[in-house]
Amino acid sequence: MAQDRPDIPTALKRTILVEAGHRCAIPTCRQTPVELAHITPWSKIKEHTFDNLIALCPTYHTRFDRDDIDRKSMLQYKQNLEVLNGRYTDVERQVLKVYARILG
Protein backbone atom coordinates (compact mmCIF):
# COMPACT_ATOMS: atom_id res chain seq x y z
CA MET A 1 0.00 0.00 0.00
CA ALA A 2 1.24 3.47 -0.83
CA GLN A 3 2.57 5.48 2.09
CA ASP A 4 0.21 8.42 1.50
CA ARG A 5 -2.85 6.16 1.29
CA PRO A 6 -4.45 5.27 4.63
CA ASP A 7 -5.65 1.75 5.35
CA ILE A 8 -9.31 0.99 4.77
CA PRO A 9 -10.99 1.18 8.18
CA THR A 10 -11.68 -2.23 9.71
CA ALA A 11 -15.43 -1.65 10.05
CA LEU A 12 -15.67 -0.66 6.37
CA LYS A 13 -13.65 -3.73 5.31
CA ARG A 14 -16.00 -5.93 7.30
CA THR A 15 -19.08 -4.33 5.70
CA ILE A 16 -17.72 -4.86 2.19
CA LEU A 17 -16.79 -8.47 2.92
CA VAL A 18 -20.19 -9.23 4.46
CA GLU A 19 -21.92 -7.61 1.46
CA ALA A 20 -20.19 -10.13 -0.83
CA GLY A 21 -20.43 -13.06 1.58
CA HIS A 22 -16.64 -13.03 2.01
CA ARG A 23 -16.35 -14.17 -1.62
CA CYS A 24 -15.55 -12.58 -4.96
CA ALA A 25 -18.41 -10.31 -6.09
CA ILE A 26 -18.26 -11.65 -9.66
CA PRO A 27 -21.27 -14.01 -9.71
CA THR A 28 -19.62 -16.71 -11.82
CA CYS A 29 -16.52 -16.71 -9.62
CA ARG A 30 -17.35 -16.43 -5.90
CA GLN A 31 -13.80 -17.53 -4.98
CA THR A 32 -11.92 -16.91 -1.78
CA PRO A 33 -9.68 -15.32 -0.61
CA VAL A 34 -10.68 -11.83 -1.65
CA GLU A 35 -9.15 -8.37 -1.81
CA LEU A 36 -10.92 -5.02 -1.70
CA ALA A 37 -10.83 -3.00 -4.90
CA HIS A 38 -11.72 0.64 -5.55
CA ILE A 39 -14.22 0.89 -8.41
CA THR A 40 -13.09 4.43 -9.17
CA PRO A 41 -9.33 4.47 -8.58
CA TRP A 42 -8.02 5.75 -5.27
CA SER A 43 -5.80 8.17 -7.18
CA LYS A 44 -8.91 10.00 -8.45
CA ILE A 45 -11.04 10.18 -5.30
CA LYS A 46 -8.56 9.83 -2.40
CA GLU A 47 -11.09 8.23 -0.04
CA HIS A 48 -12.44 4.84 0.99
CA THR A 49 -16.24 4.63 0.71
CA PHE A 50 -18.72 1.77 0.81
CA ASP A 51 -20.13 2.64 -2.61
CA ASN A 52 -16.69 2.62 -4.22
CA LEU A 53 -15.31 -0.62 -2.77
CA ILE A 54 -15.96 -4.17 -3.90
CA ALA A 55 -14.61 -7.58 -2.88
CA LEU A 56 -12.73 -9.37 -5.67
CA CYS A 57 -10.55 -12.47 -5.82
CA PRO A 58 -6.93 -11.73 -6.77
CA THR A 59 -7.54 -12.89 -10.37
CA TYR A 60 -10.48 -10.56 -11.02
CA HIS A 61 -8.82 -7.72 -9.11
CA THR A 62 -5.82 -7.99 -11.43
CA ARG A 63 -8.06 -8.20 -14.50
CA PHE A 64 -9.97 -5.10 -13.35
CA ASP A 65 -6.72 -3.19 -12.75
CA ARG A 66 -5.54 -4.15 -16.26
CA ASP A 67 -8.85 -2.90 -17.75
CA ASP A 68 -9.87 -6.39 -18.88
CA ILE A 69 -13.07 -5.60 -16.96
CA ASP A 70 -14.41 -2.08 -17.36
CA ARG A 71 -15.68 0.23 -14.65
CA LYS A 72 -19.30 0.07 -15.86
CA SER A 73 -19.25 -3.70 -15.41
CA MET A 74 -17.81 -3.35 -11.92
CA LEU A 75 -20.54 -0.85 -11.02
CA GLN A 76 -23.10 -3.39 -12.22
CA TYR A 77 -21.54 -6.12 -10.05
CA LYS A 78 -21.73 -3.75 -7.07
CA GLN A 79 -25.36 -2.97 -7.89
CA ASN A 80 -26.12 -6.68 -8.11
CA LEU A 81 -24.85 -7.09 -4.55
CA GLU A 82 -27.11 -4.26 -3.41
CA VAL A 83 -30.13 -5.95 -4.99
CA LEU A 84 -29.23 -9.34 -3.51
CA ASN A 85 -28.86 -7.81 -0.07
CA GLY A 86 -32.09 -5.79 -0.33
CA ARG A 87 -30.21 -2.62 0.52
CA TYR A 88 -32.21 -0.32 -1.75
CA THR A 89 -35.82 0.06 -2.84
CA ASP A 90 -36.77 -0.14 -6.52
CA VAL A 91 -36.90 3.67 -6.77
CA GLU A 92 -33.46 4.01 -5.19
CA ARG A 93 -32.05 1.42 -7.61
CA GLN A 94 -33.46 3.38 -10.56
CA VAL A 95 -31.81 6.57 -9.30
CA LEU A 96 -28.52 4.69 -8.90
CA LYS A 97 -28.79 3.40 -12.48
CA VAL A 98 -29.23 6.95 -13.79
CA TYR A 99 -26.29 8.14 -11.69
CA ALA A 100 -24.13 5.26 -12.97
CA ARG A 101 -25.00 6.17 -16.57
CA ILE A 102 -24.06 9.81 -15.97
CA LEU A 103 -20.71 8.81 -14.44
CA GLY A 104 -20.06 6.06 -16.97
For residue 17, being part of any structural domain is answered with yes
For residue 28, being part of any structural domain is answered with yes
Number of structural domains the chain divides into: 1
For residue 3, being part of any structural domain is answered with no
For residue 4, being part of any structural domain is answered with no
The predicted pLDDT at position 46 comes to 93
- Give average pLDDT by consecutive 10-residue segment, the chain, 104 residues: 80 92 92 95 93 97 97 93 72 72 66
pTM over 0.85: no
Domain span including residue 87: 10-103
Contact 29, 14 (CB under 8 A): no
For residue 1, being part of any structural domain is answered with no
For residue 2, being part of any structural domain is answered with no
For residue 62, being part of any structural domain is answered with yes
The predicted pLDDT at position 77 comes to 94
